[in-house]
């Protein structure tokens, strides 16, 4: 029974990877890593099958892995469906969670997804961070906007003040479809300083922000009738199960 359940999970994941391979793009390494993990699981199954008794911890591990995989797929599917389904309106998507939880990884997978990129003409990723400096961030954004459309940055960029740079970004995006990622925003002051660079009407794009702070995510998403997603860490028991799984696999493979 144990082998059947895990093999089914492995087959489902393998089929999904094969089906979506042409759209993986920069996620090829992730797909290859998953395939390697599948090989480890199959090797583990062969050894587990030789046991006379079923280990209760092993049964719990199977259940937790299956639940985690299903949850991850649901989150990604819902996020991408919402994003692509509403790309003709304005909105800010906020992802909130503690440091190291995977906010940037999740957004990067959506940002790099081939289907999402085809739906928008402009794509720019900017890291804000705790050492936020408005002038530097706006210059970086303008340079990346120019690169994204194969053009040179505007003449005199270094001499522009913040208001001039915001006006440039606003005009640049006004008649475009776009995704702008502002990764790791640490303060409401930073968001308030940046947000007026983006069109407020006739907008056909999304601003995606990641932050550790609920207040920032709420402020950014609510005012634009956007979407707020709170990422949660694994509960203690699931964390222990994952730790057990990794240790058990390494032990059996050594």
Q: What residue ranges define each of the domains in the chain, with the CATH number in brackets?
A: 2-78+235-253 (no CATH), 87-230 (3.40.50.300)
Closest C-alpha among 65, 60, 111 to residue 84:
111
* Residue 186 near residue 130 (C-beta atoms within 8 A): yes
Residues linked to residue 181 through DSSP beta bridges, in sequence order: 125, 208
Q: Looking at residues 145-166, what average pLDDT do you find?
A: 92
The yes-or-no verdict on residue 1 having pLDDT over 50 is: no
CA-based R_g, the chain, Å: 22
- The token pair at 167 is 């006006």
Higher pLDDT, 251 or 166: 166
How far, in Å, CA of 151 to CA of 104, rounded? 27
The yes-or-no verdict on residue 74 having pLDDT over 70 is: no
The yes-or-no verdict on residue 129 having pLDDT over 90 is: no
The yes-or-no verdict on residue 90 having pLDDT over 60 is: no
Q: Looking at residues 63-86, what average pLDDT do you find?
A: 56
- The token pair at 55 is 């280990």
Higher pLDDT, 15 or 164: 164
Quick: pLDDT tens for 170-200. 989 988 888 899 999 999 989 988 988 888 6
Q: Where do we find the tokens 């359940």?
A: 5
With cut-offs at 50, 70 and 90, classify the pLDDT of residue 226: confident
3-state secondary structure of 206: strand
Q: Looking at residues 80-105, what average pLDDT do you find?
A: 71
Q: Give me the percent of the chain exceeding a pLDDT of 70.
A: 54
Q: Which of 64-73, 93-102, 150-159, 169-178 has the lowest mean pLDDT?
A: 64-73
The yes-or-no verdict on residue 87 having pLDDT over 50 is: no
Predicted pLDDT at 64: 62
Quick: pLDDT tens for 2-31. 445 455 555 655 665 565 554 444 455 555
With cut-offs at 50, 70 and 90, classify the pLDDT of residue 70: low
Higher pLDDT, 138 or 247: 138
Q: Looking at residues 94-103, what average pLDDT do you find?
A: 84
Does the global pTM surpass 0.85? no
The yes-or-no verdict on residue 235 having pLDDT over 90 is: no
Residues linked to residue 187 through DSSP beta bridges, in sequence order: none
Predicted pLDDT at 156: 92
């Amino acid at each position: 029974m144990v082998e059947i359940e895990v093999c089914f999970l492995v087959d489902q994941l393998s089929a999904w990877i094969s089906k979506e391979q042409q759209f993986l793009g920069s996620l090829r390494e992730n797909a290859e890593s998953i395939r390697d993990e599948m090989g480890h699981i199959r090797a583990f199954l062969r050894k587990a099958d030789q046991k006379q008794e079923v280990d209760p911890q092993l049964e719990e591990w199977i259940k937790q892995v299956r639940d985690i995989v299903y949850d991850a797929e649901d989150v990604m599917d819902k996020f991408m469906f919402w994003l692509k389904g509403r790309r003709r309106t304005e909105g800010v998507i906020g992802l909130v969670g503690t440091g190291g939880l995977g906010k940037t990884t999740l957004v990067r997978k959506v940002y790099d997804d081939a289907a999402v990129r085809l739906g928008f003409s402009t794509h720019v990723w900017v890291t804000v961070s705790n050492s936020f400096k408005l002038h530097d961030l706006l210059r970086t954004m303008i340079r990346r906007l120019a690169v994204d459309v194969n053009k040179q940055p505007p003449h005199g960029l270094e001499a522009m003040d913040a208001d001039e740079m915001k006006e440039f970004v606003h005009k640049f995006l006004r008649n475009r479809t776009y995704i702008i990622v502002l990764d790791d925003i640490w303060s409401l002051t930073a968001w308030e300083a940046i947000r007026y660079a983006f069109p407020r009407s006739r907008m056909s794009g999304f601003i995606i922000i990641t932050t550790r702070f609920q207040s920032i995510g709420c402020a950014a998403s609510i005012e634009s009738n956007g979407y707020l997603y709170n990422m949660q860490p694994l509960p203690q028991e699931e964390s222990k199960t994952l730790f057990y799984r990794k240790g058990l696999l390494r032990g059996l493979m050594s």
